[in-house]
Amino acid sequence: MSAHSHKEIDFQIMWNRLIAVVGEQAQVLIRTAFSPIVRECEDISAGIFDLQGRMIAQAVTGTPGHVNSMAESVGHFLRHFPVSTMKEGDAYITNDPWMGTGHLNDFVITTPAFHKGRLVGLFSCTSHLMDIGGLGNGPEATDVFMEGLSIPMLKLIDQGQVNETLMAMIRANTRLPVDTEGDTYSLAACNDVGVRALCDMMDEFHLDSLEPLADFIIERSRQAVLDKIAALPQGTWCHEMTIDGYNAPLTLKAKLTVGENRVSVSYDGSPPAVGRGINVPMAYTRAYTVFGLACAISPDVPNNAGSLAPYHVEAPEGSVLNAMRPAPVSSRHVIGQMLPDMVFGCLRTPLPERVPAEGTSCLWNIAVRGQWFPKGATTPQTYALAITTNGGTGARPGLNGLSATAFPSGVHGTPVEIAEIQCPLIFWEKELRENSGGLGQTKGGDGQIMKIGTTQKQPFELLAAFDRVDHPARGALGGQDGAAGRVETASGRKLAGKGLQVLEADELLVLLTPGGGGLGAP
């Protein structure tokens, strides 16, 4: 075996080890978080970056919206905190939607990794927090300032000393100060564990720098994706999809071009930003678009700066898919998670054997808020919870769609038992919505039926951010559409798919999540 081959094998072993390191980083975050959307649903991302801000490896656990936008956020951290200024024990934080992961409810923390006194890399992570003040995690705001506490690029920890002034500001601007503070520390802690695991790895392999390994990983991944692209037919294909929007439907437009050494997606022609919080910052648009491309073109290539590089995404400034500050963006997932379906629609002509029909796509999170008396409490306490639920995915070539499954986000559904511990809601019914998936040669996945009430005498608020109510997932190649979603009360009162609504203590909330579209003629 040549020395060159021996070195490549060593690099491959170290690459796998890095993935294990960030996997440990992610598990620490999940196991120490206070918010159930992190603990139970794994709505996070974790990764390691080189000193140029290139993502080398990401944890397998994590949503595309978090991972691929976090990949850009580290570059913003480096602009504000150059590597020459970083000290051992530092950590930096932001929740800026345009430099983070798209809305204020996600905190991003980046930590420099030192080995034997030398800066060798960066660990970054993000997770969703239940409440950061403002109007709450719904689409009601008319600008980002109404949506909650905004943290610019700041130093959270300075050589091991926590910024107590910043932590006091965070606690003072949330309805859940204990949970929010705990989640912030869990983010910082998982990065610290990543740093220790990296140091152990570098000692084991006698490494002084990560740069040769980073170059190997990024170049191999980039070339693997380029090889996949070279095997595709070249050309340009377009797709349109109408979704519910806020008060009026929106028609998204995409044009996908496969060139010699890259794939480009343009959303030119998509509608302008709207006055409520379903707008999408560009980083989140890019994150889910690139994820859709990777699913169809390079699903077996690890996700890092190299594998992302051949994919190019653009959207007009000021559009709903490239909203500019201070546009409201709290519920950016409603549109952002539709973008893989846009990619698949473009690729259906050249690659029909690889792409599914449309699915529910955007999560049907049940965001609730109110006052209650937990067992033993003598004074009312505030609760604010996002209960993660989902509908059916689109039918796949040769396989039915998945029922009650979150694609493309990948988060788990919140267990009923956990939701009922965290707040006074009680689930009287939760079952599959049979035959809600569209018929086809392969069938769309089914949604769910849920009936939810409260154990208290107080009303509760629903911060609705649902889609596929007026415009269900469409079947493809002759397949039938999935069933539309419905939001109502047990007495028949119809509720809006988006916006803050109050349910009285004696009312039952009824949710029917959408089904996925069928594929091929039944």
Last residue of a domain, one of 204, 221, 238: 221
Which tokens sit at 64? 């595309």
pLDDT in tens, 262-279: 999 999 999 999 999 999
**Between 115 and 137, residue with greater pLDDT:** 115
Compute the distance between CA of residue 223 and CA of residue 307 in angstroms, rounded to an integer: 8
pLDDT in tens, 368-415: 999 998 888 888 999 999 999 999 999 999 999 999 999 999 999 999
Residues 215 and 361 in one domain: no
Q: Is the pLDDT of residue 21 over 90?
A: yes
- Return all residues near 5 (Cβ < 8 A) that are at least 6 apart: none
Which tokens sit at 353? 């054997």
> For position 375, what pLDDT does the model report?
82
**403 by DSSP, 3-state: which?**
coil
Alpha helices in 81-145 (DSSP H): none
> For position 442, what pLDDT does the model report?
98
Q: How many domains are there within the chain?
A: 2
Report yes or no on 68 lying in a domain: yes
pLDDT in tens, 483-517: 999 999 999 999 999 999 999 999 999 999 999 99
Compute the distance between CA of residue 72 and CA of residue 50 in angstroms, rounded to an integer: 13
> For position 502, what pLDDT does the model report?
97
Upstream peptide bond of 326 is cis (omega within 30 degrees of 0) = yes
> For position 436, what pLDDT does the model report?
98
pLDDT in tens, 56-97: 999 988 899 999 998 899 999 999 999 999 999 999 999 999
Q: Is the pLDDT of residue 152 over 80?
A: yes
According to DSSP, residue 146 is labeled: G
Report yes or no on 258 lying in a domain: no
Report yes or no on 138 lying in a domain: yes
Report yes or no on 23 lying in a domain: yes
> For position 61, what pLDDT does the model report?
86
State the average pLDDT over residues 179-205. 97
Report yes or no on 241 lying in a domain: no
- Tell me which residue range forms the domain holding 114: 3-221
Last residue of a domain, one of 221, 251, 272: 221
State the average pLDDT over residues 239-253. 97
According to DSSP, residue 455 is labeled: S
State the average pLDDT over residues 281-295. 97
Sheet of 509-512, strand order: 425-433, 447-454, 509-512, 486-489
State the average pLDDT over residues 158-172. 98
Q: Are 292 and 342 in contact (CB under 8 A)?
A: yes
State the average pLDDT over residues 210-215. 97
Report yes or no on 13 lying in a domain: yes
Q: Are 521 and 455 in contact (CB under 8 A)?
A: no
> For position 6, what pLDDT does the model report?
57
Q: Is the pLDDT of residue 427 over 60?
A: yes
Compute the distance between CA of residue 402 and CA of residue 396 in angstroms, rounded to an integer: 9
pLDDT in tens, 307-342: 999 999 999 999 999 999 999 999 999 999 999 999
Q: Is the pLDDT of residue 2 over 60?
A: no
Using a 10 angstrom Cβ sphere, with 0-12 exposed, 13-18 middle and 19 or more buried, the burial of residue 32 is middle
State the average pLDDT over residues 123-139. 95
State the average pLDDT over residues 301-307. 96
Last residue of a domain, one of 221, 253, 281: 221
Report yes or no on 439 lying in a domain: yes
> For position 1, what pLDDT does the model report?
44
Pairing of strands 44-49, 118-128: antiparallel
Task: Say how many CA atoms lie within 13 Å of 479 toward its Cβ.
Answer: 34
Q: Which of 267, 266, 321, 261 has its CA nearest to residue 297?
A: 261
Which tokens sit at 98? 């345009």
Q: Is the pLDDT of residue 4 over 70?
A: no
Distances (CA, A) of 458 to 189, 425, 454, 503: 38, 11, 8, 9
Report yes or no on 468 lying in a domain: yes
Buried b (16+ CB within 10 A) or exposed e, 482-521: bbbbbbebeeeeebebbbbbebeeebbbbbbbbbbbbbbe
Buried b (16+ CB within 10 A) or exposed e, 73-83: bbebbbeebee
Q: Are 42 and 31 in contact (CB under 8 A)?
A: no
Using a 10 angstrom Cβ sphere, with 0-12 exposed, 13-18 middle and 19 or more buried, the burial of residue 356 is buried
Which tokens sit at 239? 């797709």
Compute the distance between CA of residue 63 and CA of residue 60 in angstroms, rounded to an integer: 9
> For position 5, what pLDDT does the model report?
60
Compute the distance between CA of residue 441 and CA of residue 436 in angstroms, rounded to an integer: 15
Q: Which of 159, 123, 129, 112 has its CA nearest to residue 24?
A: 123
pTM: 0.96
> For position 470, what pLDDT does the model report?
98
